[in-house]
Structure 1
Amino acid sequence: MSNSLAESGAPGPAAPGRNPRPSDDRGPFHGPAALWLALMAGPLSFGIAGPALVLDDAARDLGVSTGAATSTVTAFGWGIAVGTPLLAGLLDRRGARAALTACGLLVLLGAGLVAGISVLPVLVLGTALMGLGTAGLTATAMSLAGSPRAMGLVTASLAVVGSTAPLAGSLVNDVLSWQATLALPVLSAVAVPFAAARCAPGAPAAREPFDPLGAVLLTALVTALVFVPHQPLPAGVCSVLAAALLVARVRARPRGFVPAVLVRNPGFLLSAGLAFCLAVVNFGMMYAIPERLEDHTSWSASEIGVAMVWPLLLGGTLSWFVVAVSARTGRRVVVTALTGLAVLGVVLAVAGTSAAVLLTAQALTSIAAASGQGAFAVHATSAVPDDQRPPAIGMFNLSYLLGAAFGPALVSLLAL
């Protein structure tokens, strides 16, 4: 059965040379095989949310402050932000097997350092390597997804794992150690051999020579943006400078590391921008709702943590169905519905005081963000030429991840 843009209700047929909406029988990863992609992508969320309840233990054992121990999480965040476009570029130029191999090795190396050496600088290096590797595995999984259902399964796995990661990390800490908790993203490497075996051998068709300057400038821009919430003035100045240099590089080399076809494509920019906004709202709410619950209930911190699991888990689970349904509806309907859910969630969070209303607000924004990551990824790759799918996935995921970084920072500034 075909699920083309025209059949999905999107305005107009797919343009010649552009990627139609993936059909359910496209590629080797549809049906049960898509579970390997979900297993490969989902553990990335362990690196983001898994350490939330174990950092105090890590700080005590290391003899450092909790803030210093948090640098491991910051390093992981930097790794996934930088690794998303860089390793998507490897996928684009060397093919899926090469990308899977390189990313799998990065994850294994990082996990080995984290699990084996309890020294803070080594832990920071190890978590950064795991961030790089899992970012590449997630971008590869999304690029290999052969249908909207498969794409929805991949993005739902990220949301579902993220919703349970703090509790899972705490349990692993109790049974094993906090180092094992930090190393949980290594689970993504389990799926690598099985996914690689289903990929066609060989590299893609010949492409433009590698653009090292473009890669360096994008890395500098992403690094500066990641630190904007922590050091607004210096990081902001560096971000503006890096962005200006990157724009000049894109103009000078339109088929370089950041293809001009992406930054000049309204459909791609709209999809990436919407994903960014929904991520800002959702991840901001993940910090705002616990504060609201603390203010308006008598729950303890652990009770709030347990209560937060169900709205996030519900959002991640329902997103699979939403992304699958979005393949048969128009873009305008999807954009309106998901934006509406996010706005309603924010209104409920601001106006509500009961636990039920506040948790419902979190559920709505979770559904919107998790569904938007999958649905808009399909739209983003449909809007660009087929040979630009890997860099499009990389830049799209980068937008979503930057939203995850900015959401909590905005909440702290607004003091919701």
Structure 2
Amino acid sequence: LVRVGAALVALGAAIVLASPSALLPLVAGRAVEAAGAAGLTVAAFRIAGRDRSGRSTGLVAIGNAAGGTLGLFVGAGAAQLLGWRAALVMPLLALTVLPAVLRPAGRASRAGQAGQAGQAGQAGSTRPGAPAGRFRDALPLGLLRRPGFRRPALLMLALATVNFALVYGAPRRVAALTGWGPLPTGAAVASVALAGALLCWQLVRLAPALGTARVRVLLAAGSAAAAAAAAFAPWPPVVLLGSALSSLVTAGGQGVLTGSAVGGLAPERQGGAIGLFNLAFPAGVAAGPVLAGFADQTVQFLY
């Protein structure tokens, strides 16, 4: 998965760099890059999932959120210094850590294959008809019928949607309230979002003691409070606080809820479950700005 993801990132970047300024090939190249980046993200969570404490998964989630926040600045700087194509091939930076990632990925793969072989042998020796049923049960989409998977996945989708709606909307509110230009506004919003992502480690650390139900309530309440603060508060610091809180619960939620979604599943099903669960995050990345833009246009139309 790591190698295929890296190859897709490289291929997509090559398409972008070789394409003329026409929109269609650029979009196609970015889509290939996005597929590779998604594969690398899933691989990171699968490797971290070997740590049953959930702390490794939390660290990956923090890295994911921090990278997404810093990427706004790095991409803007690259576009100004090297041209707009440089911002479109930023995923190439992920390839610099490929050698370090392949070692734990190889260990996880060997351990997973050994576990699958042992469980398949045991199932075959006790129940002759089991392999076909096991195959049908292992289909990733079948996980959507499990409330233990569906609920954390839907919560993750909601958290990511709110967060990236604020990534789109919070800078506009701060600029409207302060009169700041794009650079100071972007710096303020990105700084508090990064701080929120880093502070979520405390939530990840306390999650086992709080319990699954309380953590989910905290995540949902935090996201709702963040959205309300960013959308309706008349003071810029409160808007920024809402953006930081949303970043905190989204990053922390991705770390905590990943373990919750795959809990109770057999080891051979956990890889597919992690991959399917993490689709909720990019779905929120896409849905959040769309909903924020729609809300913005609706308000402008009404007033």
Match of 1:308, SS state, is helix
Amino acid at match of 1:153: L
Partner of 1:412: 293
Q: Does 1:174 align with 2:84?
A: no
Name structure 2 gaps, 5 residues minimum.
121-134
Cα distance, 1:299 vs structure 2: 1.1
Question: What is the distance in 2 between the residues matched to 1:119 and 1:156?
Answer: 35
CA contact (8 A) 1:265 1:384 kept: no
Amino acid at match of 1:357: V
CA contact (8 A) 2:61 2:251 kept: yes
Q: Does 1:359 align with 2:240?
A: yes
CA contact (8 A) 2:149 2:262 kept: yes
With over 3 angstroms needed to count, the CA separation of the structure-2 counterparts of 1:325 and 1:413, relative to structure 1, is same
- Summarize the alignment of residues 175-324 of structure 1 with structure 2, pairs less than 5 Å apart: 175-198=81-104, 199-200=106-107, 204=113, 205=116, 254-255=136-137, 257-260=139-142, 262-324=143-205
Amino acid at match of 1:255: D
CA contact (8 A) 1:276 1:400 kept: yes
Question: What is the distance in 2 between the residues matched to 1:288 and 1:197?
Answer: 40
Partner of 1:130: 33
Partner of 1:10: none
With over 3 angstroms needed to count, the CA separation of the structure-2 counterparts of 1:127 and 1:150, relative to structure 1, is same
Q: Does 1:336 align with 2:217?
A: yes
Partner of 1:159: 65
Per-residue deviation, residues 345-375 of structure 1 (Å, max 9, x unmatched): 1222233111111101111111111111111
Match of 2:210, SS state, is coil
Match of 2:140, SS state, is coil
Partner of 1:48: none
Match of 2:279, SS state, is helix
Q: Does 1:113 align with 2:15?
A: yes
Amino acid at match of 2:229: L
Cα distance, 1:309 vs structure 2: 1.1
Partner of 1:32: none
CA contact (8 A) 1:268 1:383 kept: no
Question: What is the distance in 2 between the residues matched to 1:104 and 1:386?
Answer: 25
**Matched-pair identity in %:** 30
Partner of 2:252: 371
From 360, 371, 381, the equivalent of 2:262 is 381
Per-residue deviation, residues 133-160 of structure 1 (Å, max 9, x unmatched): 1111110110110332211111111111
Question: What is the distance in 1 between the residues matched to 2:11 and 2:285?
Answer: 26
Amino acid at match of 2:281: Y
Per-residue deviation, residues 156-185 of structure 1 (Å, max 9, x unmatched): 111111112121112222332322221111
With over 3 angstroms needed to count, the CA separation of the structure-2 counterparts of 1:256 and 1:381, relative to structure 1, is closer
With over 3 angstroms needed to count, the CA separation of the structure-2 counterparts of 1:361 and 1:395, relative to structure 1, is same
The normalised TM-score by structure 1 is: 0.61
Question: What is the distance in 2 between the residues matched to 1:290 and 1:350?
Answer: 11
Question: What is the distance in 2 between the residues matched to 1:256 and 1:306?
Answer: 45
Amino acid at match of 1:143: R
Question: What is the distance in 2 between the residues matched to 1:174 and 1:343?
Answer: 36
Cα distance, 1:257 vs structure 2: 4.1
With over 3 angstroms needed to count, the CA separation of the structure-2 counterparts of 1:353 and 1:107, relative to structure 1, is same
Question: What is the distance in 1 between the residues matched to 2:98 and 2:209?
Answer: 31
- Summarize the alignment of residues 20-39 of structure 1 with structure 2, pairs less than 5 Å apart: none
CA contact (8 A) 2:156 2:253 kept: yes
Cα distance, 1:131 vs structure 2: 0.7
Cα distance, 1:259 vs structure 2: 4.3
- Summarize the alignment of residues 52-67 of structure 1 with structure 2, pairs less than 5 Å apart: none
Structure with the largest fraction of helix: 2
Question: What is the distance in 2 between the residues matched to 1:119 and 1:298?
Answer: 34
Match of 1:327, SS state, is helix
Match of 1:384, SS state, is coil
Question: What is the distance in 1 between the residues matched to 2:15 and 2:293?
Answer: 33
Which one is further off, 287-296 or 112-121?
A: 112-121
The normalised TM-score by structure 2 is: 0.82
Question: What is the distance in 1 between the residues matched to 2:82 and 2:230?
Answer: 37
Partner of 1:345: 226
Question: What is the distance in 2 between the residues matched to 1:405 and 1:160?
Answer: 18
Q: Does 1:139 align with 2:42?
A: yes
Question: What is the distance in 2 between the residues matched to 1:125 and 1:344?
Answer: 38
Which one is further off, 272-281 or 192-201?
A: 192-201
The runs of at least 4 aligned residues of structure 1 exceeding 6 Å deviation read none
Cα distance, 1:279 vs structure 2: 1.0
